[in-house]
Amino acid sequence: MACDFGIQCLLLSTCPACLLFCHVFQESLLSSSSGYSNYRGILNWCVVMLVLSNARLFLENIIKYGILVDPIQVVSLFLKDPYSWPAACLIIVSNVFILAALYTERRLAVVSLHISPDNTFSFAHMTQISCQVQAILLCMCVCVSVGGVISLGVYTVLFLKLYSYQDTNRWCREIRQAKAKKMTRSFSCPSVAQSNGSAAHTHVSYPGNLTHRDMYYFVFAPTLCYQLNFPRSPRIRKRFLMRRLLEMLFLMQLLVGLIQQWMVPTIQNSMKPFQEMDFSRMVERLLKLAVPNHLIWLIFFYWFFHSSLNFVAEMLQFGDREFYRDWWNSETVTYFWANWNIPVHKWCLRHFYKPMLRNGVNKFLAQTAVFLASAFFHEYLVSVPLKMFRLWAFMGMMAQVPLAWFVGRFLNGNYGNAAMWISLIIGQPIAVLMYVHDYYIIHHVNTT
């Protein structure tokens, strides 16, 4: 505005002429007609509110229960009876299966030069699998709570690894035979063209991989899928290794502390409303449990899939660090399940889903079968240590199929993402409470 009150005024706009008009025609920012959409500050608001709410819950918990964290208790769980460690023995025995798998493959490599691999497949596999199932049954009878879960986990991982080992070696034999049949065309499969971080490791092809060194590298490598020449990282980064190790130790302590201080009292307090079937209190308890349960799951996710697997991978110079993808952005349930646990997802895809497709099963049926297998493993890993078959975990996993259909059909974008989070935050504590409730009923109500 032109102004007659001098230079001083033009800078500060303090003269009467400049002050006279202070209103212009404009809409409020929150009116839809203003076209404003910068709500960057809202994210900070959410974070601050979450931190403050949880700080309060934490303080309330400390006031109510005092400090319950007790690292000695955890150690004592492992060392309960130091002269008979069934779990440790079982883990040592697992070497038998590893070596059996290796020697079977060595034998098959020779035999299959003469006979068709299709016959040998079923025989070798069946022997292996039946042995492992027997070991698992043994494990179920012997196991004590924590050691039992660990040995069961080890056996399950080993089962998946050896299955993959046998499958992959069988494919190599198939390729060798196909090659032998039509020698005219050269096969590109065991080529050096694959991306390999280091040139120092020599390239091996089929029968050459059947060594103890290669077998044990695969057993310890953070993957469930066997491959002839794993991509390798050029060197062990000391700082990276140290950071992952510190994360592992710290988060381990945090997890144990949160479980002792927050989960256990909340679960104990939830028993009464669940026995009395007081519905509104049950929902309140469920929501109260949801927060620590979800936090523990998130910390566990980071601890296992980022810190621990990266630590092992760095130690072994294992190159493929894709242990998870961006599941936090997933807008469908299927995307979440396909991306939060890449080692298992890769195994399912490679050794379960794709072979099914190859045998002419349609996609939806194959997907459901994968969920079914996954549901079985979830149930099995929970039921066996608790010695309680209730199918809650199984049903929780199977409920993902209709949920995936619903979310994919009716919700998309941020609504789909929110639905994924809700199912994750609410679904888990429901299953946890179901098992704890049943466990409590069996062990405490009947005895008193």
- 74, 216, 248, 281: residue in contact with a copy of itself (rule CB under 8 A): 281
Q: Compute CA distances 446 → 72, 95, 158, 438, 439, whole Å.
A: 30, 41, 38, 11, 11
Which is the catalytic residue, given 23, 345, 378, 443?
Answer: 378
Handedness of CA 196, 357, 412, 294 (dihedral sign): negative
CA 29/CA 36 separation, integer angstroms? 6
- The enclosing H or E element of 369 equals helix 363-386
What phi and psi values does residue 402 have, to the nearest 5 degrees?
-65, -35
Out of 6, 7, 35, 42, point to the residue binding a copy of itself (CB under 8 A): 42
For residue 323, state whether it binds a copy of itself (rule: CB under 8 A): yes
Does residue 378 carry a catalytic annotation?
yes
Using CB under 8 A, which of 65, 171, 300, 377 touches a copy of itself? 171
Quick check: 50 binds a copy of itself (CB under 8 A)? yes
Contact region with a copy of itself (CB under 8 A), list: 86-94, 148-156, 397-405, 413-421:
413-421
Integer Cα distance of 77 and 411 in angstroms: 45
What residues between 18 and 37 interact with a copy of itself by CB under 8 A? Answer: 19-31, 36
Q: Which of 6, 7, 63, 192 binds a copy of itself (CB under 8 A)?
A: 63
CB nearer to a copy of itself: pick between 163 and 230: 230
Within 176-235, which residues bind a copy of itself (CB under 8 A)? 178, 182, 185, 187-190, 193-197, 223, 225, 227-228, 230-233
Smallest distance, a copy of itself to C-beta of residue 402, A = 21
Does 59 sit near a copy of itself (CB under 8 A)? yes
Identified binder of a copy of itself from the candidate list 7, 202, 326, 409, rule CB under 8 A:
326
Q: Tell which one of 78, 217, 302, 304 touches a copy of itself (CB under 8 A).
A: 302
- 155 or 218: CB nearest a copy of itself: 218
Contacts of 391 (CB under 8 A, 6+ apart): 379
Max Cα–Cα distance, the chain, nearest Å: 106
In angstroms, rounded to a whole number, what is the distance separating the alpha carbons of residues 366 and 372?
A: 10
Q: Distance of CA 242 to CAs 238, 245, 300, 339, Å? A: 6, 5, 19, 27
- Alpha-carbon distance 192 to 150, whole Å? 38
Toward a copy of itself, which CB reaches closer, 46 or 445?
Answer: 46
Task: Report, as residue numbers or ranges, the catalytic residues.
Answer: 378
